[in-house]
Structure 1
Amino acid sequence: MPPERPPEWVLARRRQVGSFIRGARQDADVTQEGLALRAGIDRQTLNRIEQGHASARLDSLILIADALGVPLSHLVRD
């Protein structure tokens, strides 16, 4: 049995977080590859997070925020 799909509002927030990550990365003038290397995560995983296709683990969010030099709250704000 496939896993249940999250509600649409959760998917919308996931896309919003991905957008905040992409914006912070672009503000830092860093490529996805560069950020993935700095954060120690797979580039494809980062791409899926930025696109909102994958949920980011808390550890990944912490690594991304640290690699960008921004507070974690900057990436998950309302």
Structure 2
Amino acid sequence: MPHQQPPWVYDRRRALGRRIRDLRIREGHTQEAFAEMTDIDRRTFQRIEAGTSDPRYGDLLRIADALGVPLSELVR
């Protein structure tokens, strides 16, 4: 049986997704184009932005690099 996360984990995951979405939109990228440029599956990227998926560290590094922000700013 999977371990259920505390509510604050879900809140922070959603906040991370919102930050990624806001930065992506600010840069003028569609979800599809951004997923392609970061080599992340489009559906996976949609789940990351929606806060329903725990992104892998490598995905976060590629997202931060593509957005031109330090990883620390992305996950603050």
Range class of TM-score, shorter chain: over 0.9
Q: Aligned residue pairs: how many?
A: 76
Shift of 1:75: 1.2
Asked if 1:33 corresponds to 2:35, the answer is no
Q: For 2:72 and 2:38, how far apart are their aligned partners in 1?
A: 17
Report the identity percentage.
51
Asked if 1:72 corresponds to 2:76, the answer is no
Question: TM-score, normalising length from structure 1?
Answer: 0.92
CA RMSD of aligned residues (A): 0.8
Partner in structure 2 of residue 6 of structure 1: 5
Structure 1 stretches (4+) deviating beyond 3 angstroms? Answer: none
Unpaired stretches in structure 1, ≥5 consecutive residues: none
Asked if 1:49 corresponds to 2:51, the answer is no
